[in-house]
Amino acid sequence: MIHLKALGKIMGALMFLIGVLMLPAVFISWIYGEDSSPIVISAAISLSIGLIFYFSFAKYDQLIRKREGYLVVTLSWLIMTIFGMLPFFLSDHVHTISDAVFETVSGLTTTGASILTDIEAMPKGLLFWRSMTQWIGGLGIIVLTVAIFPLLGIGGSELFVAESPGPTSDKVHPRISETAKRLWYIYVGLTVAATMLYWAGGMAFYDAINHSLTTMATGGFSTKNASMAFYDSAFIQYVAIIFMFLAGTNFTLIYFGLVGKFSRIVKSDEFKAYAGAVVLLTLIVFTGILMHSDYSGELAFRKAAFQVVSIITTTGFVTDDYTQYGMGITFICFMMLFLGGSAGSTAGSIKFVRHMVFLKNSWLEFKRIVHPRAIVPLIINGEMVSGRIINNIMNFLLIYLSTFVIGSLTISVLGYDLETSLGAVATCLGNVGPAIGKVGPVDNFAFFSPAAKNVLSFLMLLGRLELFTILILFTPFFWRAN
């Protein structure tokens, strides 16, 4: 039996927290003299329903077990969506529930795909809430990755935590572990640093805060229609490149860097792969830009580095339309939607450690074929990876690709062309933002039908929660387990 009532208290606390997190947006509405009522009402609803839930279920204070853990995670994201969409829905700027859900899910999952056609026409308070949804999503994914997923056995995430997450227990207590707290400090600190640097580079303070919130979340929502292309400043764009790269780095490694333990960074196979891929792909795209456009020198290099770091880290800011660099570069950018940054960062998609397990395992498979009796271990970050985790990660990869295919089929059946379907699904599932076809870097998602938007919203959630968390709820094993 699932102890549903034990979840009520947690969900109440979460609703209350959402209400609290809306207050800065209310404050910004006031500063700019806007009609603050949509956000005020939303905050009031969240706070009051949150309190009612919290105290109604306070008596059911049972321990949350592993099985309820899956439900807690999925329900948390659903509840954040339901309450987080209220400011959009109550405003005059988003007209349907599908649109409000899409924009909110795109925020909370740090995807950054948008149904807004004129962002600069939106009230500043609402846009700030929009940026906040990404930053909150980023906070959430840090807890999940270091404190929850390893306990739930999701997608080989035991591998992701560079530091031991402590003794594994079958009980998931809803406290935030020490590790998660430490990483939050880094997240907050980097957000403040990015704000200062964006501001120093000439961004308005309001825009600097918004962009730093969505940079650190690898979210990619911008307050400008042209995204980062609006800022014709090398300084601002390099700041964005550096902070996107950091946001896509395993936060535990950043912590080790800050406390001077550089040996841990050097030993990380995933960091080397991540950094190496960024360098290599930047050079490839740089070459493509030199060949297929009028840009040259530093500008061409910056455009290459920006686009590559933005896509690999699944941030999704753009400073140029990469589909203009020829078919080869377009294809490479499309493929990068499947890379993802490092595990233990706010980046989405597949992530480097999984690709490494696949590549190493495939390579070693040839050794196993030649030497059928030999034991051929797979080593990542200096430690042997168990067959169980390898199998789990191979499954993850294949389920990810199957979801991509089934999702693309669904969107194409709803009446969209192949390129647009593949692009929209890849970018939503990978929580990136821009893609190819009719959802290229300079397009938006407004034209999709409500049905297509709902499918894409579901895919964003599925990707963000590492597939298994949600999919397991659809299996009998979850409901029948003792």
User: Residues in the site for its own copies, rule: CB under 8 A?
Assistant: 67, 152-154, 327-328, 330-332, 335, 358, 361-363, 365-372, 387-388, 390-392, 394-395, 397-399, 401, 405, 408-409, 412-413, 415-419, 421, 436, 468, 471-472, 475, 477-478, 481
Tell me, what DSSP letter sits at residue 317?
Answer: -
In terms of CB distance, is 46 or 315 closer to K ion? 315
In terms of CB distance, is 205 or 363 closer to its own copies? 363
Percentage helix, strand, coil for the chain under 3-state DSSP, each rounded to 5: 70, 0, 30
Shortest spacing between CB 82 and K ion, in angstroms: 22
- Stretch binding K ion (CB under 5 A), from 19-27, 308-316, 338-346, 416-424: 308-316
Q: For residues 183 and 157, what is the distance between their CA atoms, to the nearest angstrom?
A: 17
In terms of CB distance, is 132 or 357 closer to K ion? 132
Q: Which residues contact 450 (CB under 8 A, 6 or more apart)?
A: 96, 98, 99
Interaction between residue 112 and K ion (CB under 5 A): yes
CB 441 within 8 A of CB 318: yes
In the list K ion, its own copies, none, the entry touching 433 (Cβ below 5 to 8 angstroms by class) is K ion
Shortest spacing between CB 362 and K ion, in angstroms: 27
Nearest Cα residue to 286 out of 299, 274, 268: 299
- Stretch binding K ion (CB under 5 A), from 116-124, 220-228, 260-268, 278-286: 220-228
Shortest spacing between CB 434 and K ion, in angstroms: 9
- Stretch binding K ion (CB under 5 A), from 7-15, 105-113, 166-174, 382-390: 105-113
In the list K ion, its own copies, none, the entry touching 297 (Cβ below 5 to 8 angstroms by class) is none
Q: Which residues contact 378 (CB under 8 A, 6 or more apart)?
A: 357, 360, 361, 364, 384, 385, 390
Q: Ramachandran region of residue 194, left (φ > 0), alpha (ψ -120 to 50) or beta? A: alpha
Report the DSSP beta bridge partners of residue 171. 65
In terms of CB distance, is 105 or 152 closer to its own copies? 152
In terms of CB distance, is 19 or 107 closer to K ion? 107
Interaction between residue 220 and K ion (CB under 5 A): yes
Give the other-Cβ count within 10 Å of 125's Cβ. 26
Shortest spacing between CB 321 and its own copies, in angstroms: 16
In terms of CB distance, is 67 or 211 closer to its own copies? 67
Shortest spacing between CB 106 and K ion, in angstroms: 8
Interaction between residue 423 and K ion (CB under 5 A): no
In terms of CB distance, is 179 or 457 closer to K ion? 457
Nearest Cα residue to 312 out of 362, 276, 288, 360: 276
Q: Which residues contact 252 (CB under 8 A, 6 or more apart)?
A: 146, 161, 162, 163, 179, 183, 344
Whole-angstrom distance between the N-terminal and C-terminal Cα of the chain? Answer: 7
User: x-or-dash pattern for K ion, window 60-99, by CB under 5 A?
Assistant: ----------------------------------------
How many residues are given for the chain? 482
Q: Is 198 helix (H, G, I), strand (E, B) or coil?
A: helix
Report the DSSP beta bridge partners of residue 385. 378
In terms of CB distance, is 320 or 419 closer to its own copies? 419
In the list its own copies, K ion, none, the entry touching 112 (Cβ below 5 to 8 angstroms by class) is K ion
In the list K ion, its own copies, none, the entry touching 154 (Cβ below 5 to 8 angstroms by class) is its own copies
Interaction between residue 138 and K ion (CB under 5 A): no
The footprint of K ion on this chain (CB under 5 A) covers a number of residues equal to 5
Shortest spacing between CB 437 and K ion, in angstroms: 18
Shortest spacing between CB 199 and its own copies, in angstroms: 40
Structure token digits, residue 174: 């809803």
Q: For residues 111 and 138, what is the distance between their CA atoms, to the nearest angstrom?
A: 10
Tell me, what DSSP letter sits at residue 85?
Answer: T
In terms of CB distance, is 111 or 408 closer to K ion? 111
Interaction between residue 433 and K ion (CB under 5 A): yes
Backbone angles phi, psi at 65, to 5 degrees: -90, 170
Signed CA dihedral, 228, 229, 231, 235: sign only? positive
Shortest spacing between CB 377 and its own copies, in angstroms: 13
In terms of CB distance, is 89 or 416 closer to its own copies? 416
On the CB side of 4, CA atoms within 13 Å amount to 3
CB 248 within 8 A of CB 274: yes
Q: Which residues of the shown chain bind K ion in the complex (CB under 5 A)?
A: 112, 220, 314, 316, 433
